[in-house]
Chains A and B, each alone.
Chain A
Amino acid sequence: QKEVEQNSGPLSVPEGAIASLNCTYSDRGSQSFFWYRQYSGKSPELIMFIYSNGDKEDGRFTAQLNKASQYVSLLIRDSQPSDSATYLCAVNHLRSTNAGKSTFGDGTTLTVKP
């Protein structure tokens, strides 16, 4: 089992719809969770982070975390063609031997069709 798993893509949604991206992790010691967006041929950029159970909203983006289920998700409301990218889930460990390191999922590619 991979340490961080993302729902297999590609994911295609029409413009204006809600895109739902999911991620599960295996290490219960994980404490911080990140969503990075990566456009084709570019480097990843952080769009959201979350560390408490529940929802965190930032504009059209909502991150959801459920530590009991070891599940984190990203919702994109009113999806735009400019949201078309690969979304990487990353999990951060804060135990001493792994301090500061993030483990990344393989990513989910989202396409928003006009």
Chain B
Amino acid sequence: NAGVTQTPKFQVLKTGQSMTLQCAQDMNHNSMYWYRQDPGMGLRLIYYSASEGTTDKGEVPNGYNVSRLNKREFSLRLESAAPSQTSVYFCASSELGGEYNEQFFGPGTRLTVL
């Protein structure tokens, strides 16, 4: 099992360009998440999808859109990139049930916006 995969690993954009970050999981998890992590900081939730067909805003959704394509895939789109979106982006998945919500993370995408 590959777990959670993300593409691309690195990306450099110019201000105003658009791009889509891809995420896929093969653990049959219902829930998927997109976070950003800025230097010296923890993870901030951008969007999440509790189950296939549903998405919801997290703490910092402005400037982003998401698509839950199917149970496996959850993409994050930047329509018009800004330097403030320079960050490391992590996708995660979890199996909602009971009291637990252990999240499994992908390797991350390092995005620089010039």
Residues of A within 8 A of B (CB): 4, 31-32, 34, 42-46, 49, 51, 88, 90, 92, 94, 99-107
Query: Residues of A contacting B34 with CB < 8 Å?
Result: none
Cβ–Cβ contact A104 & B42, under 8 A = yes
**A-side contacts of B94, CB under 8 Å:** 100
Q: B43 contacts A104, CB within 8 Å? A: yes
The residue that B58 contacts in the complex, of A49, A101, A105, with Cβ under 8 A, is: A101
Query: Do B43 and A88 have beta carbons less than 8 Å apart?
Result: yes
* Interchain Cβ contacts within 8 Å, total number: 61
Instruction: Determine how close the nearest CB of chain A comes to the CB of B51; give it in whole angstroms.
Output: 9
B42, B100, B105, B106: the one within 8 Å of A49 (CB): B100
Which of A42, A51, A102, A106 makes the CB contact (< 8 A) with B103? A102
List residues of chain B with CB under 8 Å of any chain A CB.
Answer: 31, 33, 35, 40-45, 48, 50, 58, 90, 94, 96, 99-108
Residues on B with C-beta less than 8 A from A100 are: 31, 48, 50, 94, 96, 101
A51 B105 Cβ-Cβ under 8 A:
no
CB-CB < 8 A to B45: which residues of A?
Answer: 101-103
| In the bound complex, CA of A33 to CA of B58 (Å) | 19
Tell me the smallest distance from the CB of A30 to a CB of chain B, in Å: 11
